[in-house]
Amino acid sequence: RQLKLRGVTAEVFARALPELAPTLATLVLRMCDDADAVADALAASALAPSARPPLGALTTLDFSFSNLTTVRAIAAAKLPSLRRLDLISCFRLGEEQRPASADAHERARREREGAFTCVAALGALRELNVSYCPRLNEVDLTAISVSPSIVKLNCSNCPGLTSLAPLARMRALTT
């Protein structure tokens, strides 16, 4: 099953998710203004007690053209079948919201890690499209490069990238 929810709010998404999740193969959440909260709802679904496996059949997730700032919640959602993640033109990716209470050390750590720290937790991920993400940088590519399963990566038109050196360690990438 495929579901397209253009511009959905986190509240509506969280209410609909329990019924949709078990058989959902493709989830398109393009142009989502509340993307981080929607991703948090995905992560929360993985923790909810349920007889059904949450999002176990999801193979494609698309947050393109949204204001997503990090993939941490997506990785926390425990998506064992996720093969493709589209984050095209996520203009805020990398501009993670940091709690005001976070100390300087914690803020510095998160900045060093970048938006893709947990992408390796998406063990089945084979395709990642981060094209047209202006804040994508070498720190993010380094985090992405640790993922052994990615065979297709599109990072074209990302003005924040000044070097592709981190990609050298991605042996699984196809040309």
DSSP letter string, 58-80: --EEE-TTS----SHHHHHT--T
For residues 81 and 24, the answer to whether their CB atoms sit within 8 Å is no
Neighbours of 72 (CB within 10 A): 21
- pLDDT for position 50: 60
pTM value?
0.86
Distance between CA 17 and CA 31 in Å, rounded? Answer: 18
Distance between CA 74 and CA 168 in Å, rounded? Answer: 25
Nearest to 93 by CA among 42, 150, 36, 40: 36
Q: Coil, strand or helix: which one is 153?
A: strand
As averages over each run of 10 residues, the pLDDT of the chain (175 residues) reads: 84 82 87 90 77 75 93 88 96 68 54 70 92 91 89 94 88 76
Pairing of strands 26-28, 60-62: parallel
